[in-house]
Amino acid sequence: MRRLQLLTLIVLLVLVAACGEKISDGQLTRAEIAGAEAVLGLQLTHDEVALLADDLVEARDSYQKLRRNPAPNSLRPALRFDPELLTGPTAGIPDRDPAWSAVRALPRPVDLDDVAFASIGQLAELIRTRQVSCVELAEMSLDRLRRYDPRLHCVVTLLPERALAQAREMDRLLDQGEYLGPLHGIPYGVKDLLAVRGAPTTWGAAPYKDQVIDENATVVDLLDERGAVLVAKLTLGALAWGDVWFGGMTRNPWNTEQGSSGSSAGPAAAVSAGLVPFAIGSETLGSIVSPSTRCGVTGLRPTFGRVSRSGAMALSWSMDKLGPIARTVEDCAIVLDAIRGRDLNDPTTVDHPFPYDGGRGLDGLRIGYVENVFGEDYPGSDLDTASLEVLRTAGAELVPIKLPTDDLGFDPYDVSFILSAEAAAAFQELTLSGRDDELVRQIRNAWPNVFRAAQFIPAVEYIQANRQRVKLMAMMARIFRDVDVYVTPSLVGRSLVVTNLTGHPQVVLPNGFTAENAPHSISFVGRLYDEATVLAVARVYEQAAGWQQRHPAGF
């Protein structure tokens, strides 16, 4: 083990200033190796150092040769994370089409702004019955984006020409009697880490603000096929961290003095303010859950591999997930049904059934709750406890569970440097070129510093962390032998980091306010690829609690 770690010393040596006694033909010094040893927690004898010095030099030379031929962000490593490693192919999910709930029909209002907060289902009925044209709905969304973006800073690129051309085509299909389903003519936005042909794909970061990737992300193509109308590319914190991008800070519609959180900052803000009915976000370690909580909207982080990431910026090849942010649980289900499935351009994708039933109740379901976390005192704990009572009143028999993280021998956050290592590899050229100085945020908890620090992560420790990750996967497999879904505070406890590492799906939705204009949320976690059940349970809670009907004033 120790000798394997030695090969990673060279990563440190490249960055250490030369000084002291030469060991091997003047190429490395004893002080350089000693400094690397200290960082890695190694203790080597004089003879051991002399023996390995030439190996380190050779390794350094190889690294430098590789760096002269940097890989593009889109090139994946020859490694694959499989969330079913311990469970085998997920069984017991019925292979049937989703069944949407009955929609409360809305009459066409005099002012279309009056349906700005309508659900996808309600808007779909207005379009299907020809009360509202696809062009009218697209124009309304474009107008609202123009009108309110100066307050929210949630738009990177508006796409009026593309949107109106697509909306006209959707109206033409309706004229011919062809209806593509509930997304026909529905406007939406995408987080600007997704490529859209003919438009900049900025990743929210100044070094890439003029970047154009001449392709569509797979999810964009799939939504095109379902008739959805892309109106805008929305903001993300630079390189998918936070809510600060090269154009400023994206704002929370409930409190525009506050950021919208991130990194799916623009999608959450735009949906919250009624600028688009839904948007596509991404999550690696909280980037759907956190802004959905802050902005009082509903988000779905699907199972890892459920949705193709082809055409999306890579941050962490083993942790990135794409998913919808919308007004309601069923809106998220409708969007997931459109974007899920196998994609040959993303070898991590799978094709599992999605038998969502909008009318399903709680009968026969075992619903757990993370008892020890609900017992903690934190802002919003009263709202989370009240959510459990709403579920009990709705008929749930709640089973107390515990995430046995104390029994692992490590805190799950101790292995989360997997994300840092993969992200630093994805953007190593940015670090080595010094262009990371162009990023707006230059603090300890921001990418420039994290990328630099991650150059010191040994390859051996990255592998060891992934081995420990298997313990987390085994823990989750045991939990889901006893329950079908569990309820958890969204941002308290270890569930968020664990499930992002294991790839489990999570639904986050509003459950009240900790103060005036300060939304809070509750989360539901499901079995791998069983979004149908976790969405159905979340919808029962949503319909009983009714918080999705609240919207920020002034929009």
Task: Identify the domain containing residue 210 by its residue range.
Answer: 112-404+468-549
The pair of structure tokens assigned to 276 is: 């688009």
Within a domain: 450: no
pLDDT over 90 percentage in the chain: 84
| Bridge-based pairing state of the strands 278-283 and 187-191 | parallel
Residue 21 has pLDDT above 70, yes or no: no
**Cβ-based burial of 65 (10 A; exposed 0-12, middle 13-18, buried ≥19):** exposed
Three-state DSSP state, 4? helix
* Highest averaged pLDDT of the listed ranges 22-31, 85-94, 107-116: 107-116
How many Å from the N-terminal Cα to the C-terminal Cα in the chain? Answer: 59
Give phi and psi for 71, each to the nearest 5: -80, 145
pLDDT tens digits along 375-391: 999 999 999 999 999 99
Within a domain: 395: yes
- Quick one: which of 291, 274, 267 has its CA closest to 123? 274
The pair of structure tokens assigned to 269 is: 């803000």
pLDDT of 90 reads 62
Final residue of a domain: which of 69, 102, 121? 69
Confidence of residue 6 (pLDDT cuts 50, 70, 90): very low
Within a domain: 523: yes
The pair of structure tokens assigned to 231 is: 């109106």
- Quick one: which of 236, 277, 254, 251 has its CA closest to 137? 277
Residue 26 has pLDDT above 60, yes or no: no
- Separation CA 171–CA 330 (nearest Å): 24
Which residues 6+ apart lie within 8 Å of 52 measured at CB? 3, 6, 9, 44
In terms of pLDDT, which residue wins out, 6 or 299?
A: 299
- Separation CA 51–CA 41 (nearest Å): 19
**Do residues 49 and 140 share a domain?**
no
Residue 37 has pLDDT above 90, yes or no: no
- Kindly name the residue from 141, 191, 282, 290 that is annotated as catalytic: 191
**Rounded to whole angstroms, what are the CA distances from 354 to 338, 463, 534, 536?**
11, 33, 11, 11
pLDDT tens digits along 118-174: 999 999 999 999 999 999 999 999 999 999 999 999 999 999 999 999 999 999 999
**Do residues 322 and 374 share a domain?**
yes
Q: Are 526 and 505 in contact (CB under 8 A)?
A: yes
pLDDT of 88 reads 66
Interval 311-326 mean pLDDT:
98
Q: Which helix (H) or strand (E) holds 221?
A: helix 218-225
Which residues 6+ apart lie within 8 Å of 383 measured at CB? 511, 512, 513, 514, 520, 522
Provide the mean pLDDT of the chain.
93
**Do residues 392 and 285 share a domain?**
yes
Q: Are 308 and 349 in contact (CB under 8 A)?
A: yes
- Separation CA 497–CA 491 (nearest Å): 9
pLDDT of 24 reads 45
Interval 42-48 mean pLDDT:
85
Q: What's the order of all strands across the beta sheet hosting 485-489?
A: 155-158, 229-234, 187-191, 278-283, 321-326, 298-301, 506-515, 518-526, 485-489, 367-370, 398-401
**Do residues 170 and 274 share a domain?**
yes
Active site residue 381: no
pLDDT over 70 percentage in the chain: 95
Q: Are 180 and 256 in contact (CB under 8 A)?
A: no
User: What secondary structure does DSSP assign to 394-419, as a single string?
Assistant: TT--EEEE---GGGSSS-GGGGTHHH
Active site residue 263: yes
Within a domain: 423: no
> CA-based Rg of the chain, rounded to a whole angstrom?
25
Number of domains in the chain: 2
Return the CATH number at 256. Answer: 3.90.1300.10
Residue 34 has pLDDT above 90, yes or no: no
Three-state DSSP state, 446? coil
User: How many helices and strands, by DSSP H and E, does the chain display?
Assistant: 19, 15
- Separation CA 262–CA 282 (nearest Å): 10
- Kindly name the residue from 119, 260, 282, 287 that is annotated as catalytic: 287
pLDDT tens digits along 274-302: 999 999 999 999 999 999 999 999 999 99
Residue 317: strand pairing partners: none
- Kindly name the residue from 263, 264, 490, 523 that is annotated as catalytic: 263
**Do residues 34 and 133 share a domain?**
no
In terms of pLDDT, which residue wins out, 299 or 57?
A: 299
Longest dimension (CA), the chain: 85
Torsion sign (Cα): 378, 383, 385, 387: negative
**Do residues 165 and 50 share a domain?**
no
Place of tokens 């992200």: 423
Q: Where are the alpha helices (DSSP H) in 41-192?
A: 46-67, 120-128, 134-152, 160-175
C-alpha angle with apex 161: 155 to 164, nearest 5 degrees?
100
Within a domain: 367: yes
Residue 9 has pLDDT above 70, yes or no: no
**Do residues 34 and 158 share a domain?**
no
**Do residues 386 and 532 share a domain?**
yes
**Do residues 210 and 117 share a domain?**
yes
Q: Where are the alpha helices (DSSP H) in 371-526?
A: 371-374, 381-393, 417-426, 428-433, 447-454, 459-482, 495-502
pLDDT of 11 reads 45
**Do residues 52 and 193 share a domain?**
no
Within a domain: 554: no
Residue 327 has pLDDT above 50, yes or no: yes
Within a domain: 425: no
Three-state DSSP state, 244? strand
* Residue 100 DSSP one-character state: P
Residue 426: strand pairing partners: none
pLDDT tens digits along 465-499: 999 999 999 999 999 999 999 999 999 999 999 99
Query: Structure pTM?
Result: 0.93
**Do residues 55 and 190 share a domain?**
no
Within a domain: 392: yes
Active site residue 287: yes
Residue 196 has pLDDT above 70, yes or no: yes
**Do residues 331 and 201 share a domain?**
yes
Which residues 6+ apart lie within 8 Å of 223 measured at CB? 183, 188, 230, 280, 335, 338, 339
Final residue of a domain: which of 13, 48, 69? 69
